[in-house]
Amino acid sequence: MRTRRWIFSAVMRLLLRCLRIGQRHRFWPTQKVWQLWLYGRLCVRSLLYNSFIDSDTALDALFEPVYWLVDHITRWFGVVFVALVIILTSSVVCIVYVCLLPLILRTYPLPWIFWHFIYGHWNLVMIVFHYYMAITTQPGYPPQQSRSDIAAVSICRKCIAPKPARTHHCSICNRCVLKMDHHCPWLNNCVGHFNHRYFFSFCLFMTMGCIYSSISGWDMFWEAYAAIEKMKLLAKERLQVTANQTYGQTPPPTFTFHQRAFHKSVVYAWVLCSSVALALGALMIWHTVLITRGETSIERHINRKEKKRLQKKGKVFRNPYSYGPLGNWKVFLGVERKRHWVTRVLLPSTHPPKGSGLNWDTAPCVPEQKTALLAI
């Protein structure tokens, strides 16, 4: 028994001596193994730190490398996504002006020409304005220096700074954002307190414009699609005729280059507008529901967990930032008077949102809450 213990002790002392010698002389294989051992032990201890750690925290820690990769890809490809939005939107606008507008002026009656001209340009102006403002407007960030008048609800574990209510840390921007909804790669910007209205208005007017283009170009789309199918059929017939004739007797093409480009452009514009209307329309409806409830995308998940937790205790959860459906829309759109529905909603407006994003008092455009609300 003593011999076995002595041999085991000698082997362990030899291993420790090798590790020390490797660290002293910077022997890289030994040093690498030692660093991996320390890192693995730290990861295990971080997952089993205290009793408050649950399965969600463990999964977040395990998937942290995946999150890091996605965040960096989104950050670097944000400019590409913005350029893609500009190119696709500009291509549809050019097709409308070059191909469809002359056809409308020749064939449509005067009232329909007037309607398309007014509504189309108004919708285009609203899309361009709100997209530009959503990109260039900062979402809002907490002050770097601590202030005594800010009611902080927690401390950000990444910024190590006080975090006001409704503020969340964006891993892509690597800073806290006031009333953060999400990070939009198509804007290359966070959607927060100061540009949330611009983002939603862009989604709304872009969806309206795509639906308008799809409905008004329905007949043109089917005519162009039938013409393209006819082109393919004639091309096959020409190949069969050419196979039985000499080179000099090849029949001339039935459709010119301008006609082929026209029909393909109409089909491209209609398919693109219809696809964007479906995808962006679903996103717009989702944000419409959230705004009606007085929530953001992040708060939706937080409130759902809080509601389940309080239900187990026999309590009812009330969103402290909800002023009712109409009140939520007034606060979100900045409507204080009746004329603001026109000047601030139907026309381009750069008015700031209510509040600074640091404190959340009751807005003057909605009545005071009479019932006590349970805060998150």
Rounded-to-integer distance, Cα 218 and Cα 179, Å: 41
Rounded-to-integer distance, Cα 340 and Cα 346, Å: 9
Rounded-to-integer distance, Cα 345 and Cα 363, Å: 18
* 184 catalytic per annotation: yes
- Of 170, 173, 184, 365, which is the active-site residue? 184
Contact 98, 52 (CB under 8 A): no
Q: Which amino acid, residue 150?
A: I
CA 194 vs. chain centroid, Å, equals 16
Contact 14, 3 (CB under 8 A): no
Rounded-to-integer distance, Cα 298 and Cα 280, Å: 19
Residues ≥6 apart with Cβ < 8 Å to 149: 359
Q: Which amino acid, residue 178?
A: L
Q: Which amino acid, residue 99?
A: C
Contact 142, 359 (CB under 8 A): no
CA 180 vs. chain centroid, Å, equals 12
Contact 194, 138 (CB under 8 A): yes
Length of the chain: 376
Contact 183, 191 (CB under 8 A): yes
CA 262 vs. chain centroid, Å, equals 34
Return phi, psi of residue 152, to 5°: -85, 135
Rounded-to-integer distance, Cα 45 and Cα 39, Å: 10
Per-residue tokens: 120: 């189309």
Contact 334, 341 (CB under 8 A): no
DSSP code, position 171: T
SS3 356: coil
Determine the number of helices (DSSP H) and then strands (DSSP E) in the chain: 12, 6
- Which residues participate in catalysis according to the annotation? 184
